[in-house]
Amino acid sequence: MCGICGMSFREPGRVDANVLARMTSALAHRGPDDDGTFLDDHTGLGFRRLSIIDLTGGAQPMFNEAGSIVIVFNGEIYNYVELVPELKARGHRFATVCDTEVVLHLYEDHGPDCVRFLNGMFAFAIWDRPRKRLFIARDRLGERPLFYHFDAATGGLRFASELKALVHDPAVGRGLSVDALDDYLAYGYVPTDRCIFDGASKLPPAHRLIWEDGRIVVEPYWRIQFDPQPIADEDAWIRECESRLRDAIRIRLRSDVPLGVFLSGGVDSSAMVALACGESAAPLRTFSVGFQESEFDEMRYARLVADRFQTDHTEIEVTDRDVSVLSDLAYYLDEPFADPSALPTYYVCREARRHVTVCVSGDGGDELFAGYSRYRHALEHQRWDRITRLGIKQLCGAVGSVMPRHYPGAGFLQRTAAGGADRYFAQCAKFLPNERRRLFRPEFAAHVQDRPRLFERYFANGRVDDLVTRLQHADQETYLVDDILVKVDRMSMKQSLEVRVPFLDHTLVEFVNRAPSDWKLRRGVGKYPLKRLLAAHLPPELLTRRKMGFGLPIKHWFRGSLDAYARDHLLSADTHCTRWIRPQAVAEVLADHQRGGRDLSRKVWALLLFELWCRRFNPS
């Protein structure tokens, strides 16, 4: 894993070497092993390296044989070994044994279509000097980030792996997007199609950007698709799925540095350990994080798996005292980010980095195999619709809208009254539209979006009328990309740790997305085919126990030791977020959580992380 940045201009001589150096330096945590820059009349490229493959070679920026094309690359191409023979047969000479050179030669042969041959996680930029073309691409599922700023007036383009590096160029600016802030308060993250700073954008997953002569084209090269087909032979499907998953794990174990596996004790991470052990000649290192509060702690299940496969197992425990790093988390996450699981992810990545340089993760399993309990709850609400008369739904909506938010049952009534995209949004939202209007200062209230804009297009898709498939499609393109993968990337890169995600092998995603939803969520049991696949490898109690998720006991923390911490940051004289948020509304949220009843801790966390982000980034 590495960090990349750069800039291109139509007029020669505009590349600022000092700005490029500051942008590159801001990415040092992503690549502590080496750095490099390239400058010519039109383009500058910066690079920070975390050495994983070909430790002595592979320096970047890297050039082709003629020196006419140069690349900076962040990520891993897992099928690079298989691509090399064909490239050599086409006459290419290799100076290294690293995957970056494979991408460079593929571009020489195929131009921007080179991405179609890649199986991996990546964000890279290629400067094609003869064509004066800058070509940038991001991997299919969005594992590696890429921010950019395009000035249409001057034709200038800047880009970087992280927002904190991009804003070192003063042309980008730090003006806060209130529309993006509204999205953050609604969803708990800033979606791909917006950025918290008005002057910046994100390259979406599975997209490529081509800059030539001061103009850009951003276009997709792959799409997530669902085309459910009946399964004629369930046993054959399980065998094929296991074969594909094993292949995805096997190629992600390629490394010239020590490698481990995150082991939460859940099904997905346990699957990684079970199948990786069969592909690894040496004992695996595994890493778990737990809590003192038993209702949130899964470490005993992690120990079951570690003992079964005789891994070299390490455990850490996170407590309320560990929020001391929240300010750093807010900085390294780049944008406001309301998922509390970033905290234990930070600590388990820190511990893992003391022993290994690469970790395999089970992220993506819930989105791929319909593991979230909210899918089951959505089906329950759908069945309720069939027996609930319209008048009762209207009554539920009316009562839910006036019920105090700290009363248990308010959310259920609101979801019962809603339908389609509105209902799914009500299941996932941090703050509903009426709550956000109370939060915003009057001059910003017009920015509140009443409709669940992220989800509506999935329910408007006439080709798919299956509810769970719609929810999976939405999650694979929104929550997975902008929450889960942002958390994993930023928290691991803060520690200079590379994380690989076998469930997101695009060939596996394509295969599983062709399966019908009632195969993945069968009789109320999520991940049915994955659990059946793992039955021969894992203890039955692990496969049949209640799903816990990667939650934190923040509802207890904010009603105890962290109440003063939250108030000191959110209600003090120097609170920054009150430029946009009403202090009285924040005080009401804190007071409602303290009253007990309904758990509002995630709302408190969202407000707290926005405040900490404001203090670190100082938006205007």
Both tokens of 177, joined, read: 């997007």
Q: What are the residues facing 328 on neighbouring strands?
A: none
Could you write out the DSSP letters of every residue in 7-70? EE-SSTT---HHHHHHHHHTTGGG-BSEEEEEE-SSEEEEEEE---SSSSS--SSEE-TTS-EE
The answer to whether 550 and 344 are in contact (CB under 8 A) is yes
Question: What is the CB neighbour count within 10 angstroms for residue 554?
Answer: 22
Both tokens of 483, joined, read: 């929450």
Both tokens of 427, joined, read: 């299941």
Which residues, in sequence order, are CB contacts of 198 under 8 Å at separation 6+? 173, 175, 176, 177
Phi, psi values for residue 493, rounded to 5°: -70, -25
Question: What is the CB neighbour count within 10 angstroms for residue 230?
Answer: 7
The answer to whether 144 and 123 are in contact (CB under 8 A) is yes
Phi, psi values for residue 347, rounded to 5°: -75, -40
Q: Which of 2, 98, 241, 577 is catalytic?
A: 2
Both tokens of 28, joined, read: 């040092």
Could you write out the DSSP letters of every residue in 540-578? HHHHHSPP--S---HHHHTTTTTHHHHHHHHSSTT-SGG
What's the Cα-to-Cα distance from 225 to each of 75, 474, 479, rounded to whole Å? 24, 11, 16
SS3 content of the chain, % helix, strand, coil (to 5): 45, 15, 35
Phi, psi values for residue 196, rounded to 5°: -65, -25
Between CA 225 and CA 511 the distance in angstroms is 10
Both tokens of 93, joined, read: 């000479």
Q: Which of 272, 361, 338 is nearest to 482 (CA)?
A: 338
Both tokens of 617, joined, read: 């980034």
Which residue, chain included where needed, has tokens 């195999």?
369
Cis-peptide, bond into residue 170, ω within 30° of zero = no
The answer to whether 467 and 378 are in contact (CB under 8 A) is yes
Between CA 598 and CA 603 the distance in angstroms is 11
DSSP, res 294: G
5 labelled catalytic: no
The answer to whether 314 and 596 are in contact (CB under 8 A) is no
Both tokens of 238, joined, read: 């399980």
The answer to whether 310 and 286 are in contact (CB under 8 A) is no
| Catalytic positions | 2
